[in-house]
Amino acid sequence: MSRSRVLIVGAGFAGYRAARMLTRVARHTADVTLLNPTDYFLYLPLLPQVAAGTLEPRRVTVSLSGTLPRTRLVLGEADGVDLDRRTVSYVGPEGARGTLEYDRLVLAVGSVNKLLPVPGVAEHAHGFRGMPEALYLRDHVTRQIELAAAADDPADCRARCTFVVVGAGYTGTEVAAQGQLLTDALVRKQPLRRGIRPRWMLLDIAPRVLPELDERLSRTSDRVLRERGVEVRTGASVKEATRDGVLLDDGEFVDTRTLVWCVGVRPDPLVAGLGRPLERGRLLVDPFLNVPGHPEVFACGDAAAVPDLEKPGSYTPMTAQHAWRQGRVAGLNVAASLGHGERRSYRHKDLGFTVDLGGAQAAANPLGVPLSGPLAGAVTRGYHLAALPGNRVRVAADWILDAVLPRQAVQLGLVRSWSVPLDTASPELARVPDDTEDRSRGQAPGRVQDRQDGGNEGNGGTS
């Protein structure tokens, strides 16, 4: 008897969980293939700690082949789905094209940076959705502090050590909190001019930070940030971005070389090309995560509009918690379609949220119980260790070392500014030079781009 071919596109929270569940339940009757641009699952909630130098990059990346031994991994980016022929086309990491056939398909392609029509943002801001962006931000912040410390001009010094984060949601709040601790550690080793300190600004058009979470978490996070000196500005947004700074909607111009864009996410553009009904860019599915009219196709995670059975008429929000749980249901329902068990609808129960604010500080409400301070910090880190599908000992060891040793203030120079554009459908991959174009000019690959990037950095351009 032939084995069914199950193809999972995307190895984020939803895709990884679906693959792990499916290989356990239907491993004897299904051949599971996982298509993903990278060979790891990225634990996004800890990415701000990578940018801040608390955790090493490999700590938050979990090997797919090492933790999904009964899954075939194909490296590549999906660029088309033919629902009639049941095929998915993709581009491999070295440019080769390929096609995968399936009997069951799970679309878990996730999300990318959300763009707004603000002049200059696409050119001068960077997002925070993938490992390359975190590594770039870590180097960039370190470089700006080093350049600020050596600057003769006080205005240039202030601009370089001013950091603007737009979007006070989960990601933006943690980036600002962790970044402020990083720059404080850096200036202890490289003091700035007298009277100048690193300045962090957190902007959001919403009336409070973490507007999507419980108000008590919001108040705690706001208080901790302000006590550290972070300028929290609610009801504020960016009107224009330039290489020399950002213009706010109230007319104030902020001199800065750093603009971090954390205004939210949008579904991966791949789902828009399916020709199926969408809900604000997300692929509409039924409560069983099936695409209507295609019982062999399932979708989950950020790219799927899943009905919220706890709030009739609405859809589940685009969060890692929902993606993780939906991935499990998707795996079980694919197995059910192959004769293993019964399918089930997606229901959820809010167990609370945690927000890591760096050091011993956090805000949490496990099971609805509001916590703050070191106790919340312990709960938050315990939650992350429990949720991580690997590397727990290494993560815990890094936390211990960070508590007793100073952070290493060095630039690795692995990711340049042009490698992590804001407008990209693949934030998990660093952009590489066009070797063909370079060779046609008689230059070594990447020379033109490297020179342009170095000019931006040396001239103080926002990158």
| Nearest-angstrom CA–CA distance, 297 and 420 | 32
- Smallest CA-to-CA distance from 226 within 250, 208, 248 is with 208
| Nearest-angstrom CA–CA distance, 309 and 267 | 21
| Verdict on whether the full-model pTM lies above 0.85 | yes
Convert 200-209 to b/e letters by CB count within 10 Å (16 or more is b): bbbbbbbebb
Residue 157 has φ and ψ, to the nearest 5°, of -60, -45
Kindly report, residue by residue over 52-96, the tens digit of the pLDDT.
999 999 999 999 999 999 999 999 999 999 999 999 999 999 999
| Nearest-angstrom CA–CA distance, 103 and 87 | 9
Q: So what's the pLDDT on residue 1?
A: 57
| Nearest-angstrom CA–CA distance, 283 and 305 | 6
Q: Do the beta carbons of residue 268 and residue 308 sit within 8 Å?
A: no
Q: What DSSP state is assigned to residue 272? A: G
Averaged pLDDT, groups of 10, the chain, 463 residues long = 91 97 92 97 97 95 95 97 97 96 98 93 95 96 95 95 96 97 93 92 97 91 96 96 96 98 94 95 97 97 96 94 97 96 92 91 91 95 95 96 89 91 90 54 36 35 36
